[in-house]
Amino acid sequence: MKIVAMGRALPQYVLDNQELSGMVETNDEWITTRTGICQRHIAKGETVVALASQAARQALAQSGVPLESIGVVIVCTFTPDTATPSMACMVQKELGLPQTVLAFDLNAACSGFVYGLAVAEALMDRQGCHALVIGGELLSRLVDYTDRSTCILFGDGAGAAVVSPAGSRTVTDFGADGNAELLSGGGYNINGGREPLRMNGREVFRFAVSTVPGSIRRVVEQAGCTLEEVDHFVLHQANHRITEGVARHLGVNLDRFYENIVHTGNTSAASIPLALWEMQEKDLLHPGDRLVLAGFGGGLTWGAMLLNW
Ligand code: ACO
């Protein structure tokens, strides 16, 4: 499987730490030192469908892949505009993709994009087609802006990848462990209102730093290479300190981990494709580069993937 091109879309409105400090009792210094985040984009009228479609259009234009070659559309999200129609069906309509397309949403929270790529790879084998894998989230929908322990972290956005069945097979490692104590939200309460996102930050931190390094080691080992031979590590952008912790556990220099959390915050399933888009824009990705992607988060879920660019 090969990622042919990336696209991205971010809401126009930027909520910085200064403005957040006027909404809850917090300050720029606390947020930047504990999380690495200075600002996040927040939707004011934009929808998941609009952002996902914009990102997908950009990726398709850059890829040169004709619309008729797209046989699979997966939108990875746990904050869809509607449960039905799915965001993937709406993207099919927005982009005028063939009606023969297999289109569905995938909810694996912050691991969504990595899960989505793996599912797309399997489906492309069956269908003999290209795929569109999109991570699109409006976390601001579920954030309680009176809860200072969560509202500082999350942002909105979408990133899209056009994926081809050409190239070498990826190597993956996945896991899930049902747990509503550490991170939950988006359900309906007794009055029919949506439950906001609630999180035990310390425990989520521990879960991430103890699970992700093992998952990364397993894909590297299965691929028959070493950590030294990986060109880029692209982790879900949850918190700079989590990335630091994972790098330390692996004994890998932090500068091999791409980070953009400083200006996007945590955008869940959109965070890895947003990072890949930026890396492509900065010309950091070259044919044959070995990448390890790693997602982790709500569910709990986690997933690592080794692929060649
Ligand atoms: N500003 C100022 N003070 C704060 C804030 C804030 N925004 N939030 C919490 N505090 C206070 C607490 O009230 C507490 O005060 P106390 O000691 O007087 O009780 C103190 O800071 C320490 O609180 P902790 O929650 O222990 O702070 P911690 O150092 O653990 O940092 C954080 C909190 C940043 C949330 C951290 O736990 C973390 O990053 N965890 C991982 C969370 C994460 O990344 N989640 C996303 C992954 S899953 C997904 O992406 C959906």
CATH 3.40.47.10: which residues of the chain?
A: 2-164, 171-308
User: Three-state SS across the chain?
Assistant: CEEEEEEEECCCCEEEHHHHHCCCCCCHHHHHHHHCCCEEECCCCCCHHHHHHHHHHHHHHHHCCCHHHEEEEEEECCCCCCCCCCHHHHHHHHHCCCCCCEEEEECCHHHHHHHHHHHHHHHHHHHCCEEEEEEEEEHHHCCCCCCCCCCCCECEEEEEEEEECCCCCCEEEEEECCCCCCEECCCECCCCCECCCEECHHHHHHHHHHHHHHHHHHHHHHCCCCHHHCCEEEECCCCHHHHHHHHHHHCCCHHHECCCHHHHCECHHHHHHHHHHHHHHCCCCCCCCEEEEEEEECCCEEEEEEEEC
Cβ count within 10 A of residue 203: 13
Q: How far is the CA of 216 from the centre of ligand 1 (A)?
A: 26
Ligand 1, atom nearest to 151 Cα: 7
**Distance between CA atoms of 189 and 193, rounded to whole angstroms?**
5
Q: Which atom of ligand 1 is nearest to the CA of 27?
A: 1
Please give the CATH number for the structural domain made up of 2-164.
3.40.47.10
Please name which of 167, 168, 162, 165 lies closest in space to residue 66, comparing C-alpha atoms.
Answer: 162
Query: How far is the CA of 36 from the CAs of 3, 29, 159, 241, 259, in angstroms?
Result: 28, 10, 21, 7, 10
For residue 169, the CA-to-ligand 1 centroid distance in Å is: 39
The ligand 1 atom at the shortest distance from the C-alpha of residue 266 is: 50
Distance (Å) from CA 146 to ligand 1 centroid: 14
Cα–Cα distance for residue pair 201/180, rounded to 1 Å: 13
For ligand 1, atom 33, the nearest C-alpha belongs to 201
CA of 105 to the centre of ligand 1 (A): 30
Distance CA 238, CA 206 (A): 13
Q: Which atom of ligand 1 is nearest to the CA of 239?
A: 44
Nearest to 177 by CA among 300, 39, 52: 300
CB-defined site of ligand 1, < 6 Å: 26, 30-31, 34-35, 109-110, 148-149, 152-153, 183, 199, 201-202, 204-205, 238-239, 242, 266, 268, 297-298
140, 205, 211, 212, best to mutate for ligand 1 pocket (most atoms within 8 Å of CB): 205
What is the residue-level pLDDT of the chain in tens, covering all 309 positions? 999 999 999 999 999 999 999 999 999 999 999 999 999 999 999 999 999 999 999 999 999 999 999 999 999 999 999 999 999 999 999 999 999 999 999 999 999 999 999 999 999 987 789 999 999 999 999 999 999 999 999 999 999 999 999 989 999 999 999 999 999 998 888 888 889 999 999 999 999 999 999 999 999 999 999 999 999 999 999 999 999 999 999 999 999 999 999 999 999 999 999 999 999 999 999 999 999 999 999 999 999 999 999
Residue nearest to atom 37 of ligand 1 (CA): 201
Residue 241 neighbours by CB distance under 10 Å: 15
Question: Ligand 1 centre from 104 Cα, in Å?
Answer: 34
CATH fold of 171-308: Peroxisomal Thiolase; Chain A, domain 1 (3.40.47)
Q: Is the pTM of this model over 0.75?
A: yes
Q: Which two tokens stand for residue 86?
A: 């799915």
Residues with a catalytic annotation lie at: 110, 236, 266
